[in-house]
Amino acid sequence: MAVYPWPDERGRFGEFGGRFVPETLMAALDGLEEAYREALADPGFGAELNQYLRTYVGRPTPLYAARRLSEHLGRGRVYLKREDLAHTGAHKINNALGQVLLAKRMGKRRIIAETGAGQHGVATAAAAALLGLDCHVYMGEEDMRRQELNVFRMRLLGAEVIPVRSGSRTLKDATNEAIRDWVTNVETTHYVIGSVVGPHPYPAMVRDFQAVIGREVREQILALEGRLPDYLVACVGGGSNAMGLFHPFYSDRVRMVGVEAAGEGIETGRHAASLTAGSRGVLHGSYSYLLQDEDGQVREAHSVSAGLDYPGVGPEHAFFKSTGRAEYVAVTDAEALRGFRLLSRLEGIIPALESAHAVAYLEKLAARLEPDDVVVVCLSGRGDKDVPMVLDRHGRKGGNGDGP
Partner 1 sequence: MDRNPLAERIAACLGGGGKLLVTYFTAGHPDLETTVRVVEAAGEAGADCVEIGVPYSDPLADGPVIQAAATRALRGGFRVAWTWEIARRVVRSGVPLAVMTYVNPVLRYGPEAFCRDAAAAGVAGLLVPDLPPEEAGELGRLARRHGLALIPFVAPTSPDHRIRMAVEAGQGFVYCISVTGVTGARPEVSARARELVERVRRYTRLPVLVGFGISTPQQAGEVARFADGVIVGSSLVARVDAAASPEEAVRSVRELVAGLRQALPHPDDTFCRPGRGDTPPGAPTARAPR
What are the catalytic residues? Answer: 92, 114, 380
User: Cα separation of 70 and 257, whole Å?
Assistant: 18
Give the nearer residue to partner 1 in terms of CB position, either 190 or 255.
190
Closest approach of partner 1 to the CB of residue 33, in Å:
13
Q: At what angle do helices 23-41 and 171-185 cross, to 10 degrees?
A: 90
Closest approach of partner 1 to the CB of residue 276, in Å:
19
The yes or no reply on residue 298 touching partner 1 (CB under 8 A) is yes
Give the nearer residue to partner 1 in terms of CB position, either 166 or 251.
166
Site for partner 1 in 27-56 (CB under 8 A): 27-28
Distances (CA, A) of 127 to 52, 192, 298, 381: 10, 11, 32, 17
Give the nearer residue to partner 1 in terms of CB position, either 122 or 318.
318
Total Cβ atoms within 10 A of residue 363? 16
The yes or no reply on residue 292 touching partner 1 (CB under 8 A) is yes
Contact flags string 10-29 toward partner 1, x per CB under 8 A: x-------xxxxxxxxxxx-
Q: Which of 267, 294, 370, 402 binds partner 1 (CB under 8 A)?
A: 294
Closest approach of partner 1 to the CB of residue 382, in Å:
31
The yes or no reply on residue 283 touching partner 1 (CB under 8 A) is yes
Give me the phi and psi of 248, to 5 degrees please: -65, -10
Residues 6+ apart with CB under 8 A from 128: 100, 111, 134, 135, 157, 158, 159
Closest approach of partner 1 to the CB of residue 89, in Å:
29
Total Cβ atoms within 10 A of residue 226? 7
Q: Which of 150, 176, 303, 305 binds partner 1 (CB under 8 A)?
A: 176
User: Cα separation of 323 and 318, whole Å?
Assistant: 9
The yes or no reply on residue 187 touching partner 1 (CB under 8 A) is yes
The yes or no reply on residue 172 touching partner 1 (CB under 8 A) is yes
Distances (CA, A) of 205 to 4, 76, 200, 297: 15, 34, 8, 28
Closest approach of partner 1 to the CB of residue 198, in Å:
11
Reduced to 3 states (helix: H, G, I; strand: E, B; else coil), residue 309 is coil
Q: Which of 92, 23, 87 is nearest to 56 (CA)?
A: 87
Q: Which of 46, 74, 269, 296 binds partner 1 (CB under 8 A)?
A: 296
Binding site for partner 1 (CB under 8 A): 10, 18-28, 166-167, 172, 176, 179-180, 183-187, 280-285, 292, 294-298
